[in-house]
Amino acid sequence: MVSRVTDDYERMALAGCQAVCEPAFWAGFDRSAAAGFSDYFSQLTEHEPRRAAKFGLKHFCWLCINSKEAEDVKLAEEVIALIPPLLDRPNVLGIGEIGLNKNSRNEMRVLEMQVELAARHEQLILVHTPHLEDKLKGTKLILSVLKNDRRIKPERVIIDHVEEHTVELVLDTGMWAGMTLYPETKCTPARAIDILERYGSERLWLNSACDWGASDPLAVPKTALEMKRRGHLAGAIEKVVFENPKRFLSQSGHFQLGESW
């Protein structure tokens, strides 16, 4: 949401959204120093929650150095050192979105460092999987790192940006699978519903992509409407768009929702 205008919060509130769950993300450019991340973490944990609250929305976040900026291992070490004192802040859900971008050796090293951070502090984990032709290989590499650490409980990990060729691989591990909704790339609403109809809704959820490119904060409610058009019952829609994320995120003691209006 740091890349979005305030009108997006208003539109989400009008659509019936109750909360925003924002991962630590790329700034639209590569940051050159850990100080830039320090300011960014303050934005996520202090300033953005106040902006969301003006529209009755709770704002939760994740902290990490994202995979797109993880090639510089020294920078990553400095950024990761900033995170532990922030984990007690009331809107922090865990470590994310960690993962891989180009499946490089340095990215793998930084991934391992952040999995270690999450394990040491008993945090939920949100994982970014690579794009296009790198996705299957990257997903396998990520899963191997997670499964090799016996402290990591699979039910406390969500692997995001799954597509048709990776969703089953993720679900078979006992981890959660997230479908990131974009107008064109990753999963469109139609493709996401196809996946739900094939694999069911257990440990699957939908999330609206909100970033610097073409994306739509209302992708989840729009997908819910499309599910209704395709004959899905209200209870099944409610499970995917609300109950599933609530179930996963409630594993964090910081995640609480007020009464809906």
The CATH number linked to 232 is: 3.20.20.140
Q: Nearest CA to 8 among 210, 223, 205?
A: 210
Instruction: Give residue 259's pLDDT.
Output: 61
**Domain limits at 27?**
6-249
pLDDT at 260: 54
Task: Give the per-residue pLDDT at 239.
Answer: 97
CA distance 13 to 17: 5
Contact 62, 24 (CB under 8 A): yes
Domain count, the chain: 1
Task: Please name the helix (run of DSSP H) or strand (run of DSSP E) that holds residue 124, with its range, or none.
Answer: strand 124-128
Q: What is the pLDDT of residue 185?
A: 65
Contact 131, 100 (CB under 8 A): no
How high is the pLDDT of residue 2?
86
pTM value is 0.96
78, 34 Cβ separation under 8 angstroms: yes
User: Long-range contacts: 7-16, Cβ < 8 Å, 24+?
Assistant: 8/210, 8/217, 9/51, 9/52, 9/54, 9/55, 9/57, 10/55, 11/217, 11/218, 12/55, 12/57, 12/217, 12/218, 13/55, 13/56, 13/57, 15/218, 15/221, 16/221, 16/260
The gap from C-alpha 145 to its chain's centroid, in whole angstroms, comes to 18
| Greatest Cα-to-Cα distance within the chain, rounded to the nearest angstrom | 52
**Phi and psi at residue 184, to the nearest 5°:** -130, -50
Distance CA 223, CA 98 (A): 26
pLDDT of res. 140: 98
Is 259 contained in some domain? Answer: no
Weakly modelled stretches of the chain, pLDDT under 50: 261
Which of the 8 DSSP states describes residue 132? G
The pLDDT of residue 3: 85
Residue 25 maps to a domain = yes
Tell me whether residue 56 is in a domain.
yes
Pairing state between β 124-128 and 204-208: unpaired
Query: Looking at the domain assignment, is residue 261 inside a domain?
Result: no
1 part of a folded domain: no
Asked whether residue 257 is domain-assigned, the answer is no
